[in-house]
Amino acid sequence: MELLSSIIWLLTWPLLIYAGYRLSVYMVRVFERNIPEDQRTCKTR
């Protein structure tokens, strides 16, 4: 049980990275709504 919970806890590492990327992209989108159009990224998905 301790082993399983450790493995699950370890999986939060890639999840944190993915969440970090998604949050960054979302914040870039919000940021780009507030800056001049010519400085915006072509298409931040």
Residues that bind other proteins (CB under 8 A): 2-3, 5-7, 9-10, 12-13, 16-17, 19-21, 23-28, 30-31, 34-35, 39, 41-45
CA-CA distance, 43 to 45, in Å (whole number)? 6
Rg for the chain, CA atoms, rounded: 17
Number of Cβ within 10 Å of residue 32's Cβ equals 14
